[in-house]
């Protein structure tokens, strides 16, 4: 499959840009399609960029005709859970209507290999841990619901329109390119590791922990942190799987290892050697106490096994944020 063009929609963002890096390293030609509302032009380094919005069918048709990609990787979503509660309309317009427009353009261009960036938020509150792909999907916020709606649409496109897809449900993406070329850069930042690192760097006054009385080993929430380069590798494997004729499938992307918030903060202090203030406050509505992936299916279907542990995640993130001027 090397040499094929892959359209990376949202490829100037965090996970999309790392996937472009991995695609290029494996001989593909990544073409970034992004409106740059959240992505960064500086992150487009491994192929051409085409500016446009996924709700703009004419622009999509133009780009697809120009580059003739063999597959589409779709990362272009609004992702902040709290913002989805405050402004659900924007999430439905971008994440649902935009994706359906993209799918229609893909179909018209004869593309039937589609990799979708989804989320463990489609599961809602866990009924059992670790979560596997058979766990019920009852999302508890507009963000999760928009992703779930697209998953349902993709199942119908597969059954009735012969568009094959791989749905990848992320757990907690983290870390950065080990050479420091790209990394996590959100505005505003809402993810735990960058926020804690910024506290250690003195860029913010401290770190707030939401809830210390959960039924976990130290009272704080448990999350499954997966290195962004492991996520990128899974996406490239998903493209290869589809181009070889693989059937539509949904897969969890996580390590299978849970880390509490207290453990995470301790690991960041160990790497940085810079203690920082931590404040424990009340629980945040909608937070699950434990989210950990069962990743057996991704291993079986894609041959995917995460390569990086928590210390490597934090070290790469620390190196990126410590040298970054994007603050």
Sign of the C-alpha dihedral, residues 85, 88, 94, 100? positive
**Catalytic pick from 123, 143, 170, 241?**
143
**Burial profile 201-219: b = 16 or more Cβ within 10 angstroms, e = fewer:** beebeebebbbbebebeeb
Rounded Cα distance, 320 and 181, in Å: 8
Are 308 and 175 a contacting pair, CB within 8 Å?
yes
Angle at 99 between CA 96 and CA 102, to 5 degrees: 155
Token pair, residue 153, equals: 């649409």
- Tell me the CA distances in angstroms from 292 to 106, 129, 272, one per residue in order: 33, 6, 26
143 tagged catalytic: yes
Q: Give the helix ranges, DSSP H, for 244-290.
A: 261-272
Q: Which residues are catalytic?
A: 143
């Amino acid at each position: 499959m090397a040499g094929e063009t892959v359209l990376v929609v949202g490829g100037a963002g965090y996970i999309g840009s790392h996937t472009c890096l991995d695609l290029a390293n494996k001989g593909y030609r990544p073409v970034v399609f992004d409106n740059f509302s959240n992505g960064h032009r500086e992150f487009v380094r491994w192929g051409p960029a085409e500016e446009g919005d996924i709700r703009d069918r004419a622009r999509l048709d133009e780009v697809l005709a120009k580059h003739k990609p063999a597959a589409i990787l779709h990362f272009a979503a609004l992702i902040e859970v709290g913002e989805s509660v405050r402004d659900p309309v924007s999430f439905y317009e971008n994440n649902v209507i935009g994706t359906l427009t993209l799918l229609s353009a893909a179909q018209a261009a004869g593309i039937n290999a589609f990799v979708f960036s989804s989320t463990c938020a489609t599961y809602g509150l866990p009924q059992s841990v670790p979560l596997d792909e058979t766990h019920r999907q009852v999302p508890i916020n507009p963000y999760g619901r928009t992703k779930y709606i697209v998953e349902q649409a993709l199942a119908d496109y597969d059954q009735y329109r012969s568009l094959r897809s791989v749905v990848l449900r992320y757990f907690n993406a983290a870390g950065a390119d080990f050479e420091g070329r790209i990394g996590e850069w959100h505005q505003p930042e809402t993810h735990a590791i960058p926020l804690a690192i910024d506290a250690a760097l003195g860029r913010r006054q401290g770190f707030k922990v939401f809830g210390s009385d959960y039924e976990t080993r130290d009272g704080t929430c448990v999350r499954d942190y997966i290195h962004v380069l492991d996520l990128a590798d899974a996406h490239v494997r998903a493209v290869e799987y589809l181009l070889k004729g693989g059937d539509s499938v949904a897969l969890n992307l996580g390590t299978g290892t849970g880390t509490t918030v207290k453990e995470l903060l301790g690991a960041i202090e160990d790497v940085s050697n810079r203690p920082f203030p931590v404040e424990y406050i009340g629980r945040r509505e909608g937070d699950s106490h434990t989210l950990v992936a069962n990743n057996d299916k991704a291993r079986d279907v894609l041959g995917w096994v995460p390569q990086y542990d928590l210390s490597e995640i934090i070290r790469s993130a620390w190196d990126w944020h410590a040298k970054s001027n994007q603050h």
